Structure 1
Amino acid sequence: MHKKKYPFTQNRELSWLKFNQRVLEEAADQRVPLLERLKFAAIFTSNLDEFFQVRCGSLTDMGLVDPNQIDSKSGMTPDEQLSAIYRETKHLYTMRDNIMKNLNKILVALHIMPVAWKDLNKKQKQHLTRYFDSQMMPLLAPQIIDFHHPFPFLINKELYVFFQLIEDGKKRYGLVPIPDYLERIVYLNDEKTEYILAENIILHNLERIFPKQKILFKTIIRVTRNADINLDAKDIEEDEDYRQYMKKILKRRSRLAPVRLEVYKNYSEEPINYLCSQLHLSKQQVFVTKNSPLEFAHIFKLIDQLPAELKKPLLYEPFTPETNNRLNPDKPIIPQVLDHDVLLSYPYEDIDQFIRLLKEASEDENVISIKITIYRLAKNSKIVHYLRRAVENGKDVTVLMELRARFDENHNIYNAERLEEVGCNVIYGFDDYKVHSKIMEITYKTDNGLKTITQIGTGNYNEKTSHQYTDFSFITSREDIGKDATNFFQNMNISNLNGTYEKILVSPHQLKEKIISELDHQIELANEGKPACASFKMNSLTDLDIISKLAQASQAGVKIRMIIRGISDLLPGLEGLTDNIEIHSVVGRYLEHSRIYIFGCGPEAKVYISSADFMTRNTERRVEVAVPIEDPELKKKLLDYFETQFSDDAKGRKLLSSGYYSNVETDRDEPFNSQDYFMQQAKENKFVAPPEPVIKPEPVKPIKKSWIARLLGK
């Protein structure tokens, strides 16, 4: 290992693994409902799958291109980084096995049982053997590997039974692919509380497929392949449609080189060495699991199928997002947002309020156009439905669809085609820059001329994830921000990344410069002996320019506090380097996804929300948007949000200078969970219509007798 160029940084991949360990720790937390703990184990596994496909895949490629390239933040070559990742990951596998062993004990006590073959009674084994013969074996395609049947291609993340047998005195290897169309969960009772996984049934009935051979070794395996595809515009034919090019390039993903081999329980040197030689993997890249299945996707279906009365107390208490206190749900949205700014906070407030705005815009005769950038969408997206309706109703609709949203590429291609077929103007951004911004503009005709409604958010236009991720969505009719939004979409249409804007910050050519400029201003204040602060909430921090500026600001006396959910390449609290930086991480019921930038101290601070993390890919290689929040009430909402979450000592952890996490120390008697607090606040602050004014009748004045007399002429 070489000397680090930056003494206050750590390796990003190891930092990410520590974050994913925090996810796994939620599966061990006894304060978390039991079935939610099972979900966290599944999320940890899914996260790790993607990490190996993308990050390990990228490092593997890097090692082939330039094996001596040194990571400036850790002093490691690509191979050294991979070796460190493999060592750390093996500890995580052991940790997951121990957690799953304990979880399964509790589940069995509650009669929710994943049953091992050895624990089946005679009647159950007979039933499953008949089930295997009639329902499974006809669908299997076993293969013996020999001269005429070479080692097959193993599909990314698919399950296989791998075995060694002896036939005519010769040892041979074979594979049984487990088709993904098989029912993965096979229930053993009508209540659907006892079950066995399909791969275990096949594993234990392998001898029925090869009755004349002796099975020497058998196990279940899964291969993970590199999914880090690099797109090169030079490969696109001159007359080729961009969508068709993307479809073609995506086919390559499933055939890229293996980066990991997982083995279930049974391990033997000779067969595993054979697999490694065929897959060109080292023993470092082999991971054995003892008490956990290799694939956890079935967990969510399993929980859905459990009897309601059994699972209800074992899950989080249901939470319904509330209405924002600035939006009357009984009145149209458009007139309200034309009148005042709104800041939605997901998942505590309902994304349906935004969708209602889009629905109204699709139908309102005064709406002329809708423009929007899209990165990820829900299945059967209402967003796409109302954009299509807007086109059908004669609106001019422009959608900038990013086709390179990793693992959502096919879904985005499908939606782009659906939008184009009704006449929507769909554009695809830039060759070298992903468009990751979340911005929408509605142009509205009024008696006083054209007005704009602009929405800028921190998260995707995705109805499903808005109930799982924390994000902010700002809606305004401010003329200056509307003008910026108009310029932004015009620039996107003409592929101009160098546009200038009055209020919003746009990467790759403006956002980072503004962040550094604002930090420089805080440094100047500190040098003058004035209060100087900066606070940030985001998912990841890797940009070296910003990291260096944060370290400089720290040593100038600027108080820096950060909430970083995942990767932090910056190490806080290092004496003489980052003394004044404190970093927390919150992992809880909801995935923390919002980005907040705060420059300054107290209520006078400048506050932004943004789609961009402080990662080099966001600040230099993506189109991102940040917007200032200047409405005093909404700004206070964000400042209070940050302070509340920074004080979380239930799900919050403090990043140490070693790169590990510790509990957040407070004087409270009871741990404080910020997400629980925000749910309660949403209930208390939801919109309540003011009571209808009571019109009191005017009191009847007594008629004076003298007046009556005059009236009667008396």
Structure 2
Amino acid sequence: MSKQKRPLINREISWLYFNERVLQEAADKSVPLIERLRFLSIFSSNLDEFYRVRVPTLSRLADINAKAKEQLGYNPKKILKEIKEIVVKQERKFDDLYENDIIKELAEEKIFIINEHQLNVARGEFLRKYFREKLLSTLVPLMLSDDKPFPELKDRAIYFFVRLRKEGKEEKAKYSLVEIPVESLERFIVLPETNNLRFVILLDDIIRYCLNEIYFIFDYPTVEAYSIQLTRDAELEIDRTVSEKFIDTLTKSLQKRKKGKPMRLLYDNSIPHEMLKYLVDKLHLDADSLIPGNRYHNFKDFIAFPNIGRKELEYTKPAPLEVPDLDLSKSIFNQISGRDYLINLPYQSFDYIIHFLREAAIDPKVTEIHITLYRLAENSRVINALINAARNGKKVNCLIELKARFDEQNNIYWTNRLEEEGVFVNYGLLDYKVHSKICLITRIEKRRSVYYANLATGNFNEKSAKLYCDHSLFTTHQGIAKELKKLFRGLEKKVFYNDYKYLIVSPLETRRKIYALIDNEIRNQKDGKPAGMILKMNSLADEEMIEKIYEAGAAGVKVQMIIRGMCCLIPGVPGLSENIKVISIIDKYLEHARVWIFTNGGDEKVFLSSADFLTRNLDRRVEVSFPVLDPRVKEEIRDIISIQLKDNTKAREINRQNNNRYRKPGRGKRYRAQNDIYIYLKNKRQ
């Protein structure tokens, strides 16, 4: 590959462009109104995580010397400044959408989100009663003074910063903090309906309405409250020398996360200047950490905003489709022994995977189950099936990735639960996250071991399976299955094997094998043979991989990409990437599948994967990519990808201008991939 530095978009800036696409969905008037509120929630939740993970990394790099900056390829301080500018603009759009658009449209539906100033006597009495019975006992105001240390604010908790003062008096105002108990109580309270009008009030505004009952012992007639939210550095510091006590070490590190360095103070932009200055001084914040917002923070809670209006205000949730010729009332093992089957989530049911595990738990011929788990549902049916298998005498080997970000505590809980039930739990590897989504079941048939496998692009999580677009493959291909056995053996021994014939496994092989597949397309292009690539993933940021894709594009290979999130590659640069086209689909489901299609001279190669094209996925994680060998499954994936490439309703172009421009149908037919895929799969049953 050429050593010349190619043009790239900074990954943090590219991520903000992705979150802008989420904000576009909230602005899209064709999206049902309650769903638009939920997209605002997703935008807010995404931004919280960004400030907990990505910004702290930049902040740590901000003080490096000029030589290190040259090696890094960018100036972290400059990027932090650019992030602040973009985020402030996005927050303004967010506020305008919420206050001047969505609130008004809700009112047209006779749904009113009201605040403490809009209560009549009857509603006021209703809320005071609610406050005294449910809320008051949960509120513990902290009185602030210069002679006491400033309290340690929790990460992402919502606080009211309260000022008590007397009008026209020289007496110094008192300051206080009170945490809003959104973790223990519903954020939204539905008030009694009046004249066919429906009212919702936030917990925050009930507290505002009853502030005088919290501070009744003070003789201050004016009590003001302004919401603030502090986001802290959430990166974990784990002692790499610890092995046997890894869970204890991780648990202690999780406790430290709660007191990480402050990265962002989101504040009500109507807060008086002197109050903001007080906070900045006490929290030792710099200007880049200050983000003005509206009166409501932790907007992520709006994902649960109640629909008290028409059902049309939400997306309809079509019933999951059956997979043709795969009958849940019959043995899954018998059916998949004859051919491969593909489950397309969420269009088809996750119950097929649960049925596979449940059957394994009770089948007397099954002797062993191996599985990797990354993120699990709250009441996981996957875990229940594994426990039942162990109780029935099966040898169950479960690798739970304890370092799955923000799921660490949940995974520690499941680890303890499984071990109590006799499941052998592998805690994973200290220096590498195990991000693969694989399951292998060993069954004794005619005195020999026969393997049944499930390999997927998404987690074994029945909750996210209703929201994420993923592919899950059942296969009894013994070449693939035996390589999975080899991989699981390596994970147990904490060693990496290579030289897989069918699987492509990180961290040792993925980069090299993808380069070889791309080189093959370049050769075919030069030799006049059919050449091309279709690559679908969540994120593309690895510079060497981008360089390789640029090389293919410059050689004339047509490259089509579907990337939901970050894309640091710049399409359409003359002489470099004019043969590369990139779209991003943001719609009602989260596009999560990773699919690679290589033309291969006319004999297409199709792979599914757990890996994005990020450096961590290629070099620092255990990822599994796998070939699709069954012609029927290969055709189905190819059809689904073709439908997505036609999308001109929810697809945005990734281009040199970074303007997230929608692909428009013009006078042609309108295509919306997620609707069209459901129809395609529904028709296949007939």
Q: 1:26 to 1:134 in 2, by over 3 A?
A: same
Determine if the alignment matches structure 1 residue 494 to structure 2 residue 496: no
Distance 1:373 1:496 in 2: 16
Map 1:458-607; keep pairs closer than 5 Å: 458-600=457-599, 604-607=603-606
2:88 corresponds, among 90, 96, 101, to 90
Structure 1, unpaired ranges of 5+: 689-714
Map 1:379-394; keep pairs closer than 5 Å: 379-394=378-393
**Equivalent residue, structure 2, for 1:200:** 205
Using the TM superposition, give the Cα deviation of residue 639 of structure 1 relative to its aligned residue in structure 2, in angstroms.
1.4
Q: 1:104 to 1:68 in 2, by over 3 A?
A: farther
Distance 1:66 1:123 in 2: 64
**Equivalent residue, structure 2, for 1:233:** 240
**What amino acid does structure 2 have at the position aligned with 1:464?**
K
Per-residue CA shift, 1:443-497, capped at 9, x if unaligned?
A: 1111262210111110000001111000011111111111101111111111112
| 3-state SS in 2 of match to 1:661 | coil
**Equivalent residue, structure 2, for 1:221:** 228
| 3-state SS in 1 of match to 2:305 | helix
| 3-state SS in 1 of match to 2:57 | helix
**Equivalent residue, structure 2, for 1:80:** 78
Determine if the alignment matches structure 1 residue 636 to structure 2 residue 635: yes
Q: 1:479 to 1:186 in 2, by over 3 A?
A: closer
Distance 2:631 2:199 in 1: 56
**What amino acid does structure 1 have at the position aligned with 2:234?**
A
Using the TM superposition, give the Cα deviation of residue 139 of structure 1 relative to its aligned residue in structure 2, in angstroms.
3.3
Distance 2:67 2:273 in 1: 31
> Do 2:212 and 2:223's aligned partners in 1 also have CA atoms closer than 8 Å?
no
| 3-state SS in 2 of match to 1:598 | strand
Using the TM superposition, give the Cα deviation of residue 202 of structure 1 relative to its aligned residue in structure 2, in angstroms.
2.2
**What amino acid does structure 2 have at the position aligned with 1:262?**
L
Q: 1:195 to 1:366 in 2, by over 3 A?
A: same
Determine if the alignment matches structure 1 residue 184 to structure 2 residue 183: no
Per-residue CA shift, 1:504-546, capped at 9, x if unaligned?
A: 0000110111100111111111222333211100000011111
Per-residue CA shift, 1:234-254, capped at 9, x if unaligned?
A: 3x3x7x532222111111111
Per-residue CA shift, 1:636-657, capped at 9, x if unaligned?
A: 1111211110110000011112
**Equivalent residue, structure 1, for 2:256:** 252
**Equivalent residue, structure 2, for 1:53:** 52
> Do 1:487 and 1:499's aligned partners in 2 also have CA atoms closer than 8 Å?
no
1:263 corresponds, among 261, 267, 278, to 267
**What amino acid does structure 2 have at the position aligned with 1:439?**
I
Structure 2, unpaired ranges of 5+: none
**What amino acid does structure 2 have at the position aligned with 1:599?**
F
Q: 1:479 to 1:134 in 2, by over 3 A?
A: closer
Per-residue CA shift, 1:414-435, capped at 9, x if unaligned?
A: 1111111121111122111100
Deviates more, 1:540-549 or 1:527-536: 527-536
> Do 1:203 and 1:220's aligned partners in 2 also have CA atoms closer than 8 Å?
no
Using the TM superposition, give the Cα deviation of residue 387 of structure 1 relative to its aligned residue in structure 2, in angstroms.
0.6
Q: 1:165 to 1:435 in 2, by over 3 A?
A: same
Map 1:662-673; keep pairs closer than 5 Å: 662-666=661-665, 668-673=667-672
> Do 1:649 and 1:664's aligned partners in 2 also have CA atoms closer than 8 Å?
yes
**Equivalent residue, structure 2, for 1:278:** 282
| 3-state SS in 2 of match to 1:189 | strand
Quick one: percent identity of the two aligned structures? 36
Per-residue CA shift, 1:360-414, capped at 9, x if unaligned?
A: 1110000110001110111111111111111111111101110010111111111
> Do 2:468 and 2:591's aligned partners in 1 also have CA atoms closer than 8 Å?
yes
Map 1:332-343; keep pairs closer than 5 Å: 332-343=331-342
Distance 1:119 1:72 in 2: 57
Distance 2:66 2:38 in 1: 38
**Equivalent residue, structure 2, for 1:414:** 413
**Equivalent residue, structure 1, for 2:450:** 451
Map 1:291-310; keep pairs closer than 5 Å: 293-303=296-306, 306-307=307-308, 310=309
> Do 2:232 and 2:258's aligned partners in 1 also have CA atoms closer than 8 Å?
yes
Taking only aligned residues, the RMSD between alpha carbons, in angstroms, comes to: 2.2
Distance 1:252 1:582 in 2: 44
Per-residue CA shift, 1:131-180, capped at 9, x if unaligned?
A: 44565344322222114433111111111111333477224422122233
> Do 1:265 and 1:289's aligned partners in 2 also have CA atoms closer than 8 Å?
yes
**What amino acid does structure 1 have at the position aligned with 2:88?**
K
Using the TM superposition, give the Cα deviation of residue 5 of structure 1 relative to its aligned residue in structure 2, in angstroms.
7.6
